Structure 1
Amino acid sequence: MQIIADSPDHEILEEAISILGLADELSSLATLEQDGIGLEDGPGPWTVFAPTDEAFELFTEEMGWTLNDLLESQFLSNIINQHIVNGCIDEYNFSYEIDESCFDLNNPLLSTDLEFNIATNLDGESLQFIVNENSIYVVGQQNTVEIIVSDLIAFNGIVHVIDAVITPKIEEIQSGSCDLWTLELTSSIEQGWDGDALGLVINNTLAETITVSEGSQEFVYQFGVDQNDIVDLLYFANGPSGSYNSYKLTDGEGQVIVQWTGNFNNYPTGYSGIYACESVKGVCEKITVELNSEFGWGWPYSSLDVFRNGNYDQSIEMPIGYSQITQINAYENDMFDFIVNTQLMFPEELGGYKIRTESGTTLVDEDNVNEAPESSYNIVVCESEDNISLSDIKSQEPSLVKMIDILGREQKNIKRHYFILHIR
Structure 2
Amino acid sequence: MPISNTLKAAAFASIAAMGTFALAAGSPALAHNHKAHSEKSQPNIVEAAQGTGVHGTLVAAVQAAGLVDTLSSPGPFTVFAPTDDAFSALPAGTVDTLLQPANKGQLSTILTYHVVAGRVPAAALSQAIRNNGGSYSFETVAGENLTASFDGHTIVITDGAGRESKVTMADVKTTNGVIHVTDGVFLPG
Query: Could you say whether these structures have the same fold, taking a TM-score greater than 0.5 normalized by the shorter chain as the test?
Result: yes
Contact 1:114 1:131 in 2 (8 A): no
- Alpha-carbon distance in 2 for matches of 1:83, 1:123: 8
Q: Which amino acid aligns with 2:85?
A: E
Contact 2:81 2:182 in 1 (8 A): yes
Q: What is the CA-CA distance between 1:122 and the residue it aligns to?
A: 1.7
- Rg: which structure is higher? 1
Q: Which amino acid aligns with 1:18?
A: Q
Of residues 114, 118, 139 in structure 1, which corresponds to 2:158?
Answer: 139
Check if 1:122 corresponds to 2:141. Answer: yes
Query: The residue matched to 2:71 in structure 1 has which SS?
Result: coil
Query: The residue matched to 1:59 in structure 2 has which SS?
Result: coil
Contact 1:60 1:70 in 2 (8 A): no
Contact 1:145 1:163 in 2 (8 A): yes
Q: What is the CA-CA distance between 1:147 and the residue it aligns to?
A: 0.4
Pairing 1:92-103 to 2, within 5 Å after superposition: none
Of residues 177, 180, 183 in structure 2, which corresponds to 1:157?
Answer: 177
What residue number does 2:57 align with?
A: 12
What residue number does 2:97 align with?
A: 69
- Alpha-carbon distance in 1 for matches of 2:155, 2:76: 21
Contact 2:72 2:176 in 1 (8 A): no
Q: Which amino acid aligns with 1:59?
A: L
Compute the TM-score of the two structures, normalised by the length of structure 1. 0.30
Structure that is richer in helix per residue:
2
- Alpha-carbon distance in 2 for matches of 1:68, 1:139: 24
Contact 2:77 2:117 in 1 (8 A): yes
Query: The residue matched to 1:114 in structure 2 has which SS?
Result: helix
Contact 2:62 2:111 in 1 (8 A): yes
Q: What is the CA-CA distance between 1:77 and the residue it aligns to?
A: 1.5
RMSD: 1.7
**Structure 1 stretches of 5 or more lacking a match?**
29-41, 88-107, 170-424
- Alpha-carbon distance in 1 for matches of 2:94, 2:154: 31
| C-alpha distance after superposition, 1:277-305 (max 9, x if no partner) | xxxxxxxxxxxxxxxxxxxxxxxxxxxxx
What residue number does 1:113 align with?
A: 124
Q: What is the CA-CA distance between 1:118 and the residue it aligns to?
A: 3.1
- Alpha-carbon distance in 2 for matches of 1:139, 1:127: 6
Query: The residue matched to 1:127 in structure 2 has which SS?
Result: strand
Q: Which amino acid aligns with 1:134?
A: H
What residue number does 2:32 align with?
A: none
Q: What is the CA-CA distance between 1:132 and the residue it aligns to?
A: 4.7
| Aligned length, in residue pairs | 132
- Alpha-carbon distance in 1 for matches of 2:124, 2:91: 31
- Alpha-carbon distance in 2 for matches of 1:118, 1:156: 23
Q: What is the CA-CA distance between 1:54 and the residue it aligns to?
A: 1.1
Check if 1:78 corresponds to 2:106. Answer: no
| C-alpha distance after superposition, 1:334-391 (max 9, x if no partner) | xxxxxxxxxxxxxxxxxxxxxxxxxxxxxxxxxxxxxxxxxxxxxxxxxxxxxxxxxx
Structure that is richer in strand per residue:
1
| Runs of 4+ more than 2 Å apart | 115-119, 131-134
- Alpha-carbon distance in 1 for matches of 2:88, 2:124: 30
**Structure 2 stretches of 5 or more lacking a match?**
1-45, 130-135
Q: Which amino acid aligns with 1:71?
A: L
What residue number does 1:53 align with?
A: 84
